[in-house]
Amino acid sequence: MSVKGISHKIQTYQISDTSKNLEKKNLLLNEEYEGFNLNIDLNVAYKDQVISSLENMLSKMKKSRT
């Protein structure tokens, strides 16, 4: 896409769906409360990396609560 006054190309994006619809399809996870905020977009995220990160954090949390 070219834009008047800008010499470099502009990246364009396409909206696939609303965040509420993605949540219903279990592709977008949002959990938030005091001291905790988790946002995962399974359309973009590397699932193995997300699983590893969550497992690491769960392990740390279990160790710290005893």
**pLDDT at residue 55 in the model:** 94
Question: Does residue 12 form part of some domain?
Answer: no
Answer whether 39's CB lies under 8 Å from 29's CB.
yes
Digit-coded pLDDT (tens) for 10-33: 777 777 666 666 555 667 788 888
In a domain, 2, yes or no: no
Which residues form the domain of 56? Answer: 19-64
pTM of the entire predicted model:
0.52
Would you say residue 39 lies in a domain? yes
Q: Where are the beta strands (DSSP E) in the chain?
A: 28-33, 36-41
- Structurally, the chain folds into a number of domains equal to 1
Nearest to 27 by CA among 13, 39, 12: 39
